[in-house]
A and B are shown apart, each in its own frame.
Chain A
Amino acid sequence: MFYRENGQFKSTYREDQQILGIRQDRWFIFGLIAFALLVVPYWGSDYMFRAILIPFLIVSLAAIGLNLLVGYCGQISLGHAAFMAIGAYAAYNIVVHFPGLNFIVVLVLAGLVSALVGILFGLPSLQIKGLYLGVATLAAQFFVDWVFARVKWFTNYSSSGGVSTAPVEMFGWTIDTPMEKYVFILVVVMVFTLMAKNLVRGHIGRSWMAMRDMDVAAEVIGIRPMYAKLTAFAVSAFYAGVAGAMWGFLHLGSWEPAAFSINFSLNLLFMIIIGGMGSILGSFIGAAFIVLLPLALSQALPLLNNLGLKVDTAMASHLEFMIFGALIVFFLIVEPLGIARLWAVAKEKLRLWPFPH
């Protein structure tokens, strides 16, 4: 009833092209941002920051990156965690060799390194598509895994093969409490979300979607497949790289090469399938889902045990696998565009409710 656009007229194309076209949506988003920036930092607990909000925000960023590639440009990647690994190790090496560099600069550089490698592994996409490309990206995953596990230079010759980081610094501010990390990550993620939204509503985004929907027609109207696909790979890997650097420095602190394994890649893919292919909002929804489900399951364990069901933690993780798998199949069959699409449909109905005609 309150979700109405009565009296909101658009008289210029500029107004028509803004991201949040409906005033109520704008209020809601601004309210949410204000809440996340001003209220949550004072009210949240360390556990909440560490176990929920920080991982949620970072994987959301990685999922947006993957969604730009898979959901918008239609190029499948089964090895996107490799780009996160590249970002993380690039950031690590930058900090090792240039200590004291502003962390924002480190993030951007790490993203750029990842983007370069992304272009390299995106090259096969010019020749092959679909399933074949999936295998090519698996090659990226396994090769990158191996490189960081074996080539000592990347881990600065650490004896264990793992790396550890010091708290990050910028503009004289040392980010060490979970709350500070959260605020920093939130701001980064907001900026990158806005940029992703701008990209997908501009002509680059349209050329990506054109490649996805009908590549021959896209070529015929003058879109260069090479440019469209490689920019998608580059931007996507850039996002993954930034997310990976933050995952390493701000979430894990110290990590082994296995931190960015194929399972991470597949999880990212699940996020965008469940959340919504070709939807920025869907990336967030999917990320929330994948982060929250294991926590919810582990919370539910005692409950299940009280009911007489013998469920241990190993069983819970198997259960998690089963639920993920079943949900993926469910969404592919029932709503291939994921929760974001369900949300959009609901909103569409709400706009007209209670008089749907």
Chain B
Amino acid sequence: MRPRNIGDVILDVKNISLSFGGVKALQNISFDVKEHEVRAIIGPNGAGKSSMLNCINGVYHPQEGEIVYQGEVRRDMDTHHAAESGIGRTFQNLALFKGMSVLDNIMTGRNLKMKTGILAQALHLGPARAEELREREFVEHVIDFLEIQAYRKTPVGRMPYGLQKRVDLGRALAAQPKVLLLDEPMAGMNMEEKQDMCRFVLDINDEFGTTIVLIEHDMGVVMDISDRVVVLDYGRKIGDGTPEVVRNDPEVIKAYLGVGH
């Protein structure tokens, strides 16, 4: 077991309900995330896992409930504010910038830190140039960390799927997030790719102390790397606790195995 250094609650989700038209995507969901932990959200397809992440970083706006992040209480997270206050995010279906190279994708993830004005950039003045070089250097660290140096200038669309997932992760990492929301980072990967991705996730958690909220279908992975697990089913929370507790919860087993249907 890795040495853990779990801190206080950094993100507290309280009684969140979200619906689209008549469809209730989330009903009265509450859970918390502690600093530096790896927190997994699991559940069958359509359970509302992605919707939950979308509420946390402000893509969707829940009708009820509140989200407390770093002591700040709000219902409606605004996406920009979420990003600025250190919530990073990857996507279930790759949402990379297809027309851009790997380097540019990750550089774009760094955009929040870049402040020079439009005129300075147009004229390529000293500060704009210096900023570009400084941030490029940081981004190169991210590229090294994810071991994708050889693809720096490749258009992301031309890369293999597993590596595109890494670029997605890199783009989120470039902003140095405090909390990283990972939406099925290992979906569609083979065993080796999954192992690589697990290693990256754990390294991020260890080396940078980043808090990780992770959606994953592979139970083996979830049980191995997460500290605590939330289980959703049809928009409701049916389980919460350490992997062992969740694994033995009769209701969770029922939802997964379909007993009684």
Residues of chain A at the chain B interface (Cβ within 8 Å) = 13-14, 17, 195-196, 198-199, 202-204, 206-207, 209-210, 212-214, 216-224, 231, 235, 278
Contact = CB atoms under 8 A, between A and B. Distances in A.
A203 B114 contact: yes
A209 B118 contact: no
Q: Is the interface of B mostly helix, strand, loop or mixed?
A: helix
Contacts of B140: 13
B11 to A, nearest CB: 16
Contact of B91 (A217, A224, A231, A278): A217
23 contacts: A14-B129, A14-B133, A199-B118, A199-B121, A199-B122, A202-B124, A203-B131, A206-B107, A207-B111, A209-B99, A209-B100, A210-B100, A212-B99, A218-B108, A220-B59, A221-B108, A221-B109, A221-B111, A221-B112, A221-B172, A222-B79, A222-B84, A231-B118
Contacts of B104: 206, 209
Nearest to A224: B80
B196 interface: no
A212 B84 CA distance: 21
A213 B97 contact: yes
Contacts of B108: 203, 206-207, 209-210, 218, 221, 223
Given A14-B133, A198-B121, A217-B96, 8 more contacts: A196-B122, A202-B121, A203-B108, A209-B108, A213-B98, A219-B80, A221-B89, A222-B79
B137 interface: yes
Contacts of B131: 203
A222 B137 contact: no
A202 B95 contact: no
B31 to A, nearest CB: 21
Given A198-B122, A203-B121, A221-B175, A13 B137 contact: yes
Q: Is the interface of A mostly helix, strand, loop or mixed?
A: helix
B136 A17 contact: yes
B83 interface: yes
- Count chain B CB atoms within 10 A of each CB in A210, A212, A214, A220 and give the residue with the most: A220
A95 B116 CA distance: 33
A63 to B, nearest CB: 18
Contacts of B112: 221-222
B186 interface: no
Given A13-B136, A203-B114, A220 B57 contact: yes
Given A13-B140, A199-B122, A207-B111, A217 B128 contact: no
B111 A222 contact: yes
Given A223-B108, A224-B80, A17 B99 contact: no
B166 interface: no
Given A206-B108, A224-B80, A17 B132 contact: yes
B83 A220 contact: yes
- Count chain B CB atoms within 10 A of each CB in A202, A209, A210 and give the residue with the most: A202
A182 B136 CA distance: 39
Contact of A222 (B80, B91, B96, B136): B80
Nearest to B120: A202
Contacts of A203: 107-108, 110-111, 114, 116, 121, 131-132, 135
